[in-house]
Structure 1
Amino acid sequence: MTTPDHQSPAPQPPLPVAKDRIYRSPMALAGGVLLLAVIAWLGFDALIQGRGRTPWLALAGMILVVPLVIAFTLRPAVFAGEDRLRIRNPFRVIGIPWGEIAALRSGYSNEVVDKAGRKYQLWALPVSLRGRKKAEARKARAAADAARGDRPAGRGLGGLGAGGMGLFGGGAGGSITPTGATRAETDQAMDDLRELLEQRGEAESAQGEISVRWAYEVAAPVVAGAVLMVILFAVH
C-alpha cells in the first residue's frame, strides 16, 4: 500500500454571513395592527350582515384600504448590511451600496442622499420631535446630576464600595453615567447608520449601482380595489 506524500487541505467551512441590522418603527407596527383589526371587524361584519350592495362595497373598501395600511405601517423597514443599505418604503425598495451614499441627514425627516444628489426618505425611521425633547431633558438632568455629584433618586446601588461596578459604573470619585438614553431612538439609529457608513463606505465590496424597485404587490390590489369601487358607484 502506498501513501501520498502530502494530503490536500480539508475544505474550510464558509464564513458566516453577517445578518442585516433591521430598523422599524414600533409605533407604526402597533398602529398598523390596531387599524387592521378594526378594518377586519367592520369589514367582515358588513360582508356577513350587509344587504344589497353593502357587502360588495365593504369588499372593495377592504381591498383598497388594507394594502395602504400595510404599506404605511407594517411594510417600512431599513436593512443595514455589510455592503449596502436597503430601504423598504411604502411603494419602493431602494438598495444603495455604502460607497454610493454621500450623507445621512436628519431634520424634520431622516433621509439618505446619494452621490448624485438624489434623496431617499427613511419611512421606517420617522423623526419624533417629542422624543428629541425628552432625550434633551434627560441629558440636561444627567448633566445637572453629574455637576452636583448626585445619583438619580431611588436608583443607586448600596454596598458597592470604591471601584464597584453598578448600573452607573465607577466607584468613589468616579464619574456618574445615567442609564437613561440621551438620544431619541430614531436619532440613535441614524448614528448607527452613520457609523456603518464610515466603516464600510470605502470597502471594495460596498461599491456598485443603486437599485430601485416599485412595490407592485402593494399598488396592484390598491388599483383593483379603487376600480371595483368606481364600478360599484357607477352602476348605482
Structure 2
Amino acid sequence: MTSPTPPAEPTYADRTFRSPAGVVGGVLLLVLICWIGGDAALRGHGRVPWLALAGMLTAVPLVVAFTLRPVVFANDRRIRIRNPFRTITVPWTEVADLRAGYSSELFTEGGTKYQMWAVPVSLRQRKRAARRQSRQSVDDPYGRTSVHADVRDSKARMATADRIMADLRELVERAKTGAAAGAAKSAESQEASPSSVSVRWAYELIAPAVVGAVLLVVLFATG
C-alpha cells in the first residue's frame, strides 16, 4: 500500500508593479518613431532610408528598455526587478532595506544597491499626500485609536511609490518571519526557492541598439 502523496505547496501569482505613465509614453513614442522613420525609409532618397532604418534600430530598443520593460514582480519568496538593461532576482531573505528617496532603491545584505525603475518617485504626489494628512490631522485633532484605525485607508493616502514600498516591506517582513520560523526545511523546498542574488543582462535590447548606433556612426562618417 502506497503512502498518500503530500499536498503540493500552494503557489501564488506574482504581484506586478509598474508605471502606467511610462507605458503610455513608451507606446506613443514607438508610434511616433515608426511613423516618422517608416515614412523616411519608404519615401526618402539616397542615404535617407538607410539613416532612417539605422535610427529606428537604435531608438526602438532604447524606448522599449526605458518605458515598457521596467517592472517589479514580487511573490512570497523573492522580488524580481526588471530594469532597462538588467533583471535582478533577489530572495526576500537577502533584502536588507527598501527606500524611496528621490528614487526607489533596494539594498541587499551584502550592501549592493539596485534601483527600481518601475517605481518612480513623484515629489509632487508626496507633497499632495502630506497636505492631505495635514488637513486630516486638523479636522480630527485627537486622531483615531489603533482599534479603529484602518491600515488600508492610511496606505491609500500615501504617494504611489511610498505605498508600493510599504507593500514590499510587508512582504519582506512576512518572508523573514516565515524563514525564521521554518529554518528546518526539507532539501527539496530549499532547492525550489532562490538562495542568492542573480543578475541577467538584456542582450536582446542591448545588441540591436549597439548595432544601430554603429551603423549611424558609419553612415555619418562616410557621408
Q: Would the aligned equivalents of 1:83 and 1:97 in 2 still touch at CA under 8 Å?
A: yes
Cα distance change, pair 215–228 in 1 and its aligned pair in 2 (3 A): same
Matched, 1:45 2:20: no
Cα-Cα RMSD: 2.5
| Match in the other structure for 1:137 | 131
Matched, 1:212 2:206: no
Aligned-pair CA distance for 1:234: 2.3
Q: Would the aligned equivalents of 1:99 and 1:207 in 2 still touch at CA under 8 Å?
A: no
**Match among 78, 85, 95 for residue 91 of structure 1:** 85
**Match among 153, 157, 165 for residue 182 of structure 1:** 157
CA distance in 1, matches of 2:78, 2:53: 40
Mapping of residues 143-182 of structure 1, within 5 Å: 143-147=137-141, 181-182=156-157
Equivalent residue pairs, number:
206
Aligned-pair CA distance for 1:11: 4.8
Amino acid across the alignment from 2:64: I
| Match in the other structure for 2:218 | 231
Name structure 2 gaps, 5 residues minimum.
184-189
Cα distance change, pair 87–179 in 1 and its aligned pair in 2 (3 A): closer
| Match in the other structure for 1:163 | none
Aligned-pair CA distance for 1:181: 2.9
Q: Would the aligned equivalents of 1:24 and 1:76 in 2 still touch at CA under 8 Å?
A: yes
| Match in the other structure for 2:168 | 193
Aligned-pair CA distance for 1:228: 1.1
Normalised TM-score (structure 1): 0.79
Cα distance change, pair 109–199 in 1 and its aligned pair in 2 (3 A): same
Q: Say which one has the larger Rg.
A: 1
Q: Would the aligned equivalents of 2:156 and 2:163 in 1 still touch at CA under 8 Å?
A: no
CA distance in 2, matches of 1:64, 1:75: 16
Q: Would the aligned equivalents of 1:98 and 1:207 in 2 still touch at CA under 8 Å?
A: no
| Match in the other structure for 2:70 | 76
| Match in the other structure for 2:208 | 221
Deviations 1:109-129 (A, max 9, x none): 111111111100011011110
Deviations 1:45-78 (A, max 9, x none): 1112111111110100000011001100110011
Instruction: Report the 3-state secondary structure (helix = DSSP H, G, I; strand = E; otherwise coil) of the residue aligned with 2:121.
Output: coil
Name structure 1 gaps, 5 residues minimum.
1-6, 150-173
Instruction: Report the 3-state secondary structure (helix = DSSP H, G, I; strand = E; otherwise coil) of the residue aligned with 2:120.
Output: coil
Aligned-pair CA distance for 1:231: 1.8
Matched, 1:64 2:58: yes
Matched, 1:123 2:117: yes
Instruction: Report the 3-state secondary structure (helix = DSSP H, G, I; strand = E; otherwise coil) of the residue aligned with 1:37.
Output: helix
Cα distance change, pair 24–178 in 1 and its aligned pair in 2 (3 A): closer
| Match in the other structure for 1:55 | 49
Aligned-pair CA distance for 1:212: 0.8
Instruction: Report the 3-state secondary structure (helix = DSSP H, G, I; strand = E; otherwise coil) of the residue aligned with 2:140.
Output: helix
More helix by share: 2
Q: Would the aligned equivalents of 1:75 and 1:90 in 2 still touch at CA under 8 Å?
A: yes
